[in-house]
Chain A
Amino acid sequence: MPTLTLLQAVNSALMDEMAEDENVVVLGEDVGLNGGVFRATEGLQAKYGENRCFDTPLAESGIIGTAVGMAVYGLRPVPEIQFSDFIYPAFDQIVSEAAKMRYRSGGEFTCPMVIRTPSGGGIRGGHYHSQSPEAYFAHTPGLKVVMPATPYDAKGLLISAIRDDDPVLFFEPKRIYRSIKQDVPEGAYEVPIGKARVAREGTDCTVVTWGAMVETCEKAAKQAEEKGISMEIIDLRSLVPLDEEAFLESVRKTGRCVVASEAPRICGFASEVAAIVSEKAIESLEAPVLRVTGFDTPFPYSLEHVYMPDAKRVLAAVEHAVNF
């Protein structure tokens, strides 16, 4: 079994699904000959031709808008938005069109597409290459929102997303694109959308997180262990649909819940998780549900390391919950 980075796993999923289904096409800025600025689409054009993997003019609303037309017609487009910070010109096409096509047409027309986009901070990218916009999309009925934290999940979730009959926002945690390696099977396999994963078992405090923050929380868990605190980490993998039972079950066991996310706090997805825990597991809670998030400031450049929640901040919240 080959050992792949998350980036290579994404590439492997695209390679396999394009072979599997000739309706799958990849489009975006620099995804063709250049193979994408991160190289996620490397080799696709050479293997499948310019009809199946092609560069677009520099217009995100055009990339997504044309992909909506292709999907409605019967293809399964996988458009790439080069950085999720550039997704906003396409917001209208995503939330007003792709998300609502099935519903507004009474189920007549559908929009099966996967919008792949690298997101999150920690690459010295400043405001326009670092944000975590998943909450905007999780707030829109009709969209599925997925974010893998490991190479194995990246491949399996991307394949599931491409085979899904609804539009999927597939956020790729670019900070860990190349830093984590894992055995990834050759050939296609699915990791189901809507199923969370217990990334680490523990007994004292549940930490719910997703994307690159899973790695941060694992660091925090090791530090916590040295202090005699056993952390359980739930990697959501999908924000919509959300595997509520996975973290509720964990919280019922530990009695404590911390939610960790890179995105700003106000109306972030961490707040949604906290609300669900409060509504459905209040009788198990021995401490308030705490959020560890980015600050409610624009994403900074020089002080990126201060802005982003690190293991220390996660650990502080866990200790607060445990000592409450």
Chain B
Amino acid sequence: MSQEMLTVLETKKRGKPALPKGVDDDLVRRMYRLMLTTRLMDDRAMRLQRQGRIGFYVPSIGQEACAVGSAAVMTDEDWCFPSYREPGAALTLGADLQAIVHEWYGNAADNTKGRQMPVHYSFKAQRFVSISSPIGTQIVQGAGAAMAMKIRGKKAFSITYFGDGATSSNDFHTGLNFAAVYKSPCIFFCSNNQWAISCPLSQQTASESIAVKAQAYGMPGVRVDGNDVLAVYQATSEAAERARAGEGPTLIEGLTFRIGPHSSSDDPTRYRPSEQLEEWQAKDPIARLEAFMKKAGLWEDAFGEPLVEEINASIAEAVKVAEETAMPASATLFDDVYADLPAHLAEQRDRLLQQEKTAGAAEMDADAAFPL
């Protein structure tokens, strides 16, 4: 199998570079803005975490092109089964910045009602399915949703995101196998950021690439420059066409790099060589798109500092609103376990509320910090 890697942004040709099919100037500008917003959200959230204002965070710095370029292909019929490193996809699909920030705080306005750690988003209106922490479970679910689309005769696809670490999980094997057997319209998008917390890719697989694994499942495997948003868009768009045409699933490997830590609790200087970090910092997906836009005549001065300031201002406003919002009420603990509240939960809730009246509410341990 070919180990070629699709790249679009840098071309040796002179003159205005060509855009992939389906991409116009406005989309390029929009993707730039989305990638920048994702980056600035990460910057802000990591600082909020360091200041003790939110409990935890997972940055996706350096990987914005994978999430944005692929999600930009989706229409209202398509569904997304993300991991926790695709906030860029949520933004691309139209998730509200304020809703994202409420989720960091787990407050009463958080649409997931403070039920999960920060970054475990759920956006039903955007068909962005609730994220869990286990690294591969969504792969099989994405395959299942694609089977459902096929059963209903929809010309749509599901896209499931995961990292290189998840390719070691049984869910990776199972998801790809089911999707291929049923020829279901599923795109498996691996953001290969080369590190699973402290373990490099060589600890996950002895395979020469992730994309090559597709061959054994009987589906195409494509390797794409994951820091090249146009290449990501093109590869995903081709996979989407195959899916909609009933030709089955595709595995896409976006080769990228996790510039930041695994999470706010991780210190990558303990295990990762600084030369590798520097090498990849030089391939920053946002800087590369900026250079392309300048060459293509798509850049405007307003995309520089003014845009950064505008986005930062809206994040700051969202943070302010979130911090002024109360935490969820104790009684909400018992909602949404089932469609209807069963008797045993009603009993537990009533007892808790009674106890709060007589003995006061339970107190949060201000020093509790997540270690991983």
Contacts and interface: CB of A to CB of B under 8 A. Distances in A.
Interface of A: 25, 51-52, 56-57, 59, 61-62, 65-70, 72-75, 89, 92-93, 96-97, 100-110, 141-142, 144, 164-166, 194, 240-242, 244
A115 to B, nearest CB: 14
Contacts of A93: 137, 140
Contact of A65 (B143, B146, B158, B344): B143
Nearest to A193: B342
A165 B340 CA distance: 9
Interface string B139-159: 111111111111110000010
Nearest to A89: B170
Contacts of B64: none
B79 interface: yes
Contacts of A75: 148, 151-152
Interface stretch (B7-15, B22-30, B114-122, B260-268): B114-122
A62 B177 contact: yes
Contacts of A66: 140-141, 143-144, 147, 178
Given A104-B122, A106-B113, A241-B342, A69 B148 contact: yes
A51 B129 CA distance: 24
A81 B142 CA distance: 20
Given A61-B171, A62-B174, A65-B171, A110 B129 contact: no
A144 B145 CA distance: 23
Contact of A102 (B81, B144, B336): B336
A251 B175 CA distance: 49
Given A69-B81, A105-B129, A106-B113, 7 more contacts: A61-B171, A65-B137, A66-B143, A74-B148, A96-B134, A97-B141, A104-B130
A213 B112 CA distance: 41
A73 B148 contact: yes
Given A51-B151, A108-B130, A244-B343, A69 B144 contact: yes
Contact of B116 (A68, A102, A104, A166): A104
Most buried by A among B147, B158, B177, B335: B147
Nearest to B110: A106
A45 to B, nearest CB: 13
A208 to B, nearest CB: 16
Contact of B336 (A73, A96, A103): A103
Contacts of A109: 122, 124, 129-130
B329 interface: no
Contacts of A70: 144-145, 147-148, 151
30 contacts: A52-B151, A57-B174, A59-B178, A62-B143, A62-B177, A66-B144, A66-B178, A68-B141, A69-B141, A70-B151, A72-B129, A72-B141, A72-B145, A73-B158, A89-B170, A97-B137, A103-B336, A105-B112, A106-B111, A106-B115, A108-B112, A108-B122, A109-B124, A109-B129, A141-B337, A164-B339, A194-B342, A194-B343, A241-B343, A242-B344
